[in-house]
Amino acid sequence: SDARTVTVLGATGSIGDSTMDLLRGARDRYQVEALTANSNVEALARLAKEFGVRFAAIADPARLGELKDALAGTNIECGAGESAIIEAAARPADWVMAAVSGAAGLKPALAAVDRGAAVALANKECLVCAGDFFMQRAAKAGACILPADSEHNALFQALSSGNREELVRVIITASGGPFRTWAPADIEQATLEQALKHPNWSMGQKITIDSASMMNKGLEVIEASYLFALSADEIDVLVHPQSIIHGMVEFSDRSVVAQLGAPDMRIPIAHCLGWPDRIVGPSARLDLAKIGQLTFEAPDFERFPGLRLAYEALRTGRGATTVFNAANEVAVAAFIAGKIKFGSIARLVEATINDWIRAGNLAPLSSADDAISVDHNARNRAASLLPQIAL
């Protein structure tokens, strides 16, 4: 058949859900090769059966028995553990959605990249962690990286209207999150429940907290730098509370080209799925007359220090963005566990980076494997600083 084969890494998450929804609407055009999850056996098995996949993988090794039981009577193969997630990515599929949350998604994404697949990249942490090496591996294998993050997908679309030499800068927008108008003292004490109330987007827990701290926008500045080979000076952030314009590109003639769309991740994912063609996206259309106005503000680097730290890490280089991401993952997990205050997320990230630099650990990364070991060491460093920050 001429159906395209696709694999979804992180199929049970928020991006996974949007991706499966689009695939459901075009069953005749796509054959699903493999699906993966971390621990949600029930949702994974349900999707695997619905789509008649060949392989289902669960990261938690303790859940293999449950997964086997849930798939009994089908001819769906299954596996467990990190190696099974990597196997899912390595199996032949033309197109892979990389939507695991966090740097845990790096090795699986690289397995898809190394065999030259088209990789729709939602998992920004893996780029921030591995830096240029991720893109180098892709170039070497002939893999096409399709940015699924809405802002980067917007840039990817807008960039095609000019040449690299004519590009002046890119602008990524930010909703500003639930604390956009909050006073510093209130942000400092914000609860988990408050941080999880994003005004425009419905997303996984980690990225929702990153959006509240604007660490997400910081990760996205770094992501844009590696994806499109841009310096920190060429990337601007603009707060745009309606989340309708996702990204803009300015050329030398001062034309600014923007991409617009409702805040619905199915739109950028549909672009990645259809690329280089266009497929049918969600049914609701953008109604600007109803929205009425689009507004803009400069970002506040003082109330949202995560954004400042991201630019600093990008300018520092030599593994600093890897440390930035690792420390933020540790900090977010500590905040969810009630171990630190919301305001301490950025504090732990800053302390970890400073400590890393003071210890003389900054060194140019020489490979993606190097990045994985820096990630590991930086997590340990952040965890050891946690008790000080927790007070």
Positions in 44-63 near Mg ion (CB under 5 A): none
Closest distance of CB 356 from ligand NDP, Å: 23
Q: Taking CB under 5 A as the rule, does residue 149 contact Mg ion?
A: yes
Q: Please report which helix (H) or strand (E) contains residue 95, including its range.
A: strand 95-98
207 binds, among ligand NDP, Mg ion, none (CB under 5 to 8 A by kind): ligand NDP
Closest distance of CB 35 from ligand NDP, Å: 9
Closest distance of CB 155 from ligand NDP, Å: 13
Closest distance of CB 367 from ligand NDP, Å: 22
239 binds, among Mg ion, ligand NDP, none (CB under 5 to 8 A by kind): none
120: nearest Cα among 91, 79, 152, 73: 152
Cα three-residue angle 332-130-343, rounded to 5 degrees? 20
343 binds, among ligand NDP, Mg ion, none (CB under 5 to 8 A by kind): none
Q: What strands, in cross-sheet order, belong to the sheet with 245-251? A: 235-239, 167-174, 245-251, 256-260
Give how far the C-alpha of residue 185 lies from the chain's centroid of Cα atoms, to the nearest Å.
29
Q: How far apart are CA 217 and CA 175, in angstroms?
A: 10
> Which is closer to Mg ion, CB of 136 or CB of 200?
200
> Which is closer to ligand NDP, CB of 137 or CB of 198?
198
270: nearest Cα among 282, 260, 261: 282
230 binds, among ligand NDP, Mg ion, none (CB under 5 to 8 A by kind): none
DSSP secondary structure, 185-206, as one string:
HHHHT--HHHHT--SS----HH
> Which is closer to Mg ion, CB of 151 or CB of 375?
151
The angle, 0 to 180 degrees and rounded to 10, between the axes of the packed helices 215-228 and 344-358 is: 50
15 binds, among Mg ion, ligand NDP, none (CB under 5 to 8 A by kind): ligand NDP
Q: How far apart are CA 14 and CA 265, in angstroms?
A: 9
Chain residues in the site for ligand NDP (CB under 6 A):
10-16, 36-40, 59, 85, 99-101, 104, 122-125, 149, 201, 203-207, 265
Q: Taking CB under 5 A as the rule, does residue 125 contact Mg ion?
A: no
3-state secondary structure of 74: coil
Structure tokens of 264? 């619905």
Closest distance of CB 224 from Mg ion, Å: 10
Q: List residues near Mg ion by CB under 5 A.
A: 149-151
